Structure 1
Amino acid sequence: MKSFVVYFGAALAEIGGCYAFWAWLRLGKSTLWLVPGGLLLATFAGLLTLVDSDNAGRAYAAYGGIYITSALLWLWAVEGVRPDRWDLGGAALCLAGAAAILLGPHRA
């Protein structure tokens, strides 16, 4: 359970950091947006090291499902676009995959 909380925190930091760059490049915001963007991206990278996994690749693979779901939540909460049934179905598949990767009985 701790890993999923860390993953969602990492996703929020990554999406927020990337959005700051998006705002600067695509929305014409000030270059000052790059400061919190860079800090958020560094926070994202640091949070991923807290996941209970012996292998970085497996931790990153499982994170993918959480990231996709979080991006759709961002789409809804920040951009005001409600995810449709295809978005939700895809997110459910991704979360199932992330759970299999993270919780599966892997060989050492």
Structure 2
Amino acid sequence: MEIFKTFGLFVLTAIAEIVGCYLPYLWLKHGHSIWLLVPAACSFALFAWLLTLHPHAAGRVYAAYGGVYVSVALVWLWAVDSIRPTATDLIGVGVCLVGMGIIMFGARTT
């Protein structure tokens, strides 16, 4: 059950990070209101706070977060930008998630 809680936390953290980056992008590249920087800053603050909730803030946990981040980014691409992921996008996500699993659940020396 702990793994589902951790995965959910990874997903929320990734969404907060993506929103924090996406809103300034809309302002800079698409001419949207500069006021988007306010919720972007709030999203980055939420991202930083969510990072403090992770069991360890380094090493394997960040490697696992990276795999989830890539997955969430492609879901964002599809849901928000209306760009359907390609087969190679999906293969890449699969490789990231397999790599994440190897890192998180592989043999430990200590």
TM-score by length of 2: 0.88
CA distance in 1, matches of 2:50, 2:94: 23
Query: For 2:36, which of 33, 37, 42 is the aligned residue?
Result: 33
Aligned-partner SS, 2:19: helix
Q: In the alignment, what sits opposite 2:79?
A: 77
Which stretch of structure 1 is more off in the superposition, 38-47 or 64-73? 38-47
Length, aligned pairs only? 107
Write the mapping of 1:65-104 to structure 2, written as runs, cut at 5 A. 65-104=67-106
Structure 2 CA distance for partners of 1:43 and 1:106, relative to 1, 3 Å? farther
Aligned-partner SS, 1:11: helix
CA distance in 1, matches of 2:24, 2:37: 6
Identity %: 47
List gaps (5 residues or longer) in structure 2. Answer: none
Aligned-partner SS, 1:71: helix
Q: In the alignment, what sits opposite 1:13?
A: 16
CA distance in 1, matches of 2:54, 2:103: 13
List gaps (5 residues or longer) in structure 1. Answer: none
Structure 2 CA distance for partners of 1:42 and 1:107, relative to 1, 3 Å? farther
Q: What is the deviation of 1:101?
A: 2.2
TM-score by length of 1: 0.89
Q: Aligned letter for 1:29?
A: H
CA distance in 1, matches of 2:98, 2:43: 27
Structure 2 CA distance for partners of 1:42 and 1:106, relative to 1, 3 Å? farther
For residues 63-91 of structure 1, give each alpha carbon's deviation from its aligned partner in whole angstroms, at most 9, with x where no partner exists.
Answer: 11111110000000000000010000000
